[in-house]
């Protein structure tokens, strides 16, 4: 087990990268501490899988360095890195039984025969595979096969890290829950670094202690679920996490204070914002917006009842602002005004949070 560090990592799939669009991964410096449970969250095509494959050694980065503890492994193959990886679609060795599938990574690494059965039984028990052990892997359902893939990833006890590439895509929703809790439970038991790639925020937030959010080849924020929610470092994080996502409104500076639609807005920032040609916005989650008698004027467009609360869609000029309102509160008739909770309202310059 070890700490994984990425230094100045960049990757491109084109041989001679020219513009920024050629880089699948732009300059990255990330440290994954030993024993952490990480989620790598981002929309499709943001470079998550590329990053994962670079860590496991399946892809060699164009530039930069990867170290496990102090050892530079940039040029080491996946076999030498002692990493386990589970892929999006189940990979099972069709001609083998479930047991042989689980034994395969152990035998390849020369584990003494006497220890193999014990280890296999252990993993089979965790994944509820005991009854299937003697069966041929080919005949199983998609989620049965994916459990085997997970099992092959987990069966080695000495790995540096276990990487998951959207492993629950093919699993039925009700089993997803179950397997995710299993993984979480397992992480607590064996304390090995786990990196879990997903584009599903719920999956990421429930699995991980630390979430790494990626967008267009860069890491935009690394933080705990609470940090991502309360203090998004980038408007993208605000949009992407939360349902509905953070409201982002363009703002002007009047005498050094941010104003939205002519109304002053208090934001949570120590720095005094300057207008030096940057695009300024304020971001506030719908949870921290409420109706008031004064403030930013808005018009109610639509109300959706989602159960425990209502989501009210309003227009403030051209901009849409969502407001989350409890069921028992009445809505203003027309000519509504919005107030933003200052502690949870951020100022963003060119998309990045000004702290």
Partner 1 sequence: MNEKAPYQKGWIFVIPVVALVAFNAVIPLMTVVNYSVQETFGNNIFFFEGIKWFQAVLTSDRFHAALGRQLAFTATILAIELPLGVAIALAMPRKGPWLSVCLVLMALPLLIPWNVVGAMWNIFALPDIGLLGKTLNNLSINYNYTQQPAAAWVTLIAMDVWHWTSLVVLLAFAGLSSIPDAYYQAAKIDGASPYAVFRYIQLPKMRRVLTIAVLLRFMDSFMIYTEPFVLTGGGPGNATTLLSIDLVKVALGQFDLGPAAAMSIIYFLIVLLVSWVFYTVMTRKEEA
> Would you tell me which residues interact with partner 1 (CB under 8 A)?
53, 56-58, 77-79, 83-85, 87-89, 91, 93-96, 104-105, 108-109, 136, 149, 152-153
96 or 325: whose CB is closer to partner 1? 96
User: Shortest distance, CB of residue 149 to partner 1, whole angstroms?
Assistant: 7
CA distance 323 to 308: 14
CA dihedral defined by 289, 294, 297, 300, rounded to 10 degrees?
Answer: 60
152 or 285: whose CB is closer to partner 1? 152
User: Shortest distance, CB of residue 203 to partner 1, whole angstroms?
Assistant: 20
147 or 285: whose CB is closer to partner 1? 147
User: Shortest distance, CB of residue 78 to partner 1, whole angstroms?
Assistant: 4
In the sheet with 247-250, reading across from the earlier edge strand, the strands are 247-250, 280-284, 345-349, 352-354
User: Shortest distance, CB of residue 195 to partner 1, whole angstroms?
Assistant: 14
122 or 341: whose CB is closer to partner 1? 122
116 or 349: whose CB is closer to partner 1? 116
C-beta of residue 257 within 8 angstroms of C-beta of residue 249: no
94 or 350: whose CB is closer to partner 1? 94
73 or 296: whose CB is closer to partner 1? 73
Residue 240, classed as helix, strand or coil, is helix
Q: Which two tokens stand for residue 334?
A: 């027309």
CA distance 220 to 42: 10
Pairing of strands 247-250, 280-284: antiparallel
- The beta strands (E) that lie in 199-308 are given as 210-215, 218-223, 247-250, 252-254, 257-260, 263-264, 280-284, 289-292, 296-305
Exposure string (b/e) for 316-352, b if CB count within 10 Å is 16 or more? Answer: beebbbbbbbeeeeeeeeeebbbbbeeebbbbbbebe
User: Shortest distance, CB of residue 91 to partner 1, whole angstroms?
Assistant: 4
Name the DSSP letter for residue 20: G
User: Shortest distance, CB of residue 197 to partner 1, whole angstroms?
Assistant: 13
User: Shortest distance, CB of residue 165 to partner 1, whole angstroms?
Assistant: 9
Q: Which two tokens stand for residue 165?
A: 């590439």
User: Shortest distance, CB of residue 319 to partner 1, whole angstroms?
Assistant: 43
100 or 268: whose CB is closer to partner 1? 100
Q: Where are the alpha helices (DSSP H) in 26-172?
A: 48-56, 78-81, 98-108, 116-126, 142-154
Nearest to 37 by CA among 181, 150, 147, 151: 181
User: Shortest distance, CB of residue 204 to partner 1, whole angstroms?
Assistant: 22
79 or 335: whose CB is closer to partner 1? 79
Partners of 231 in the beta sheet? Answer: none
């Amino acid at each position: 087990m070890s700490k994984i560090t990425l230094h100045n990592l960049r990757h491109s799939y084109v041989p001679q990268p020219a513009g920024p669009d050629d880089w699948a991964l732009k300059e990255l410096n990330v440290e994954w501490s030993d024993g952490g449970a990480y989620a790598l969250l981002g929309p499709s095509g943001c470079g998550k899988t590329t990053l994962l494959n670079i860590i496991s050694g399946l892809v060699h980065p164009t530039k930069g360095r990867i170290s496990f503890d102090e050892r530079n492994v940039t040029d080491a193959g996946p076999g030498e890195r002692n990493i386990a990886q589970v892929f999006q679609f189940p990979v099972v060795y069709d001609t083998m039984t479930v047991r042989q599938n689980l034994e395969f990574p152990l035998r390849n690494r020369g584990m003494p025969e006497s220890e193999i059965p014990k280890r296999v039984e252990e993993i089979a028990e965790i994944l509820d595979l005991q009854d299937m052990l003697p069966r041929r892997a080919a005949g199983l359902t998609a989620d049965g096969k994916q459990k085997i893939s997970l099992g092959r990833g987990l069966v080695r006890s000495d790995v540096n890290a276990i990487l998951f590439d959207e492993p629950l895509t093919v699993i039925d929703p009700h089993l997803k829950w179950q397997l995710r809790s299993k993984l979480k439970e397992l992480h607590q038991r064996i304390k090995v670094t786990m990196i879990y790639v997903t584009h599903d925020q719920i999956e990421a937030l429930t699995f991980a202690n630390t979430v790494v959010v990626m967008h267009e080849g860069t890491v935009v924020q690394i933080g705990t679920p609470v940090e991502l929610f309360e203090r998004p470092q980038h408007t993208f994080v605000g949009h992407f996490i939360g349902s509905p996502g953070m409201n982002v409104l363009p703002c002007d500076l009047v005498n050094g204070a941010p104003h939205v639609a002519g109304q002053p807005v208090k934001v949570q920032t120590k720095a005094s914002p300057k207008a030096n040609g940057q695009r300024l916005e304020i971001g506030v989650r719908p949870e921290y917006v409420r109706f008031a008698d004064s403030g930013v004027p808005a018009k109610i467009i639509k109300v959706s009842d989602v159960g425990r609360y209502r989501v009210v869609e309003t227009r403030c000029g051209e901009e849409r602002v969502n407001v989350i309102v409890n069921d028992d509160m009445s809505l203003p008739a027309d000519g509504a005004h919005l107030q933003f909770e200052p502690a949870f309202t951020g100022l963003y310059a060119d998309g990045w949070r000004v702290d």
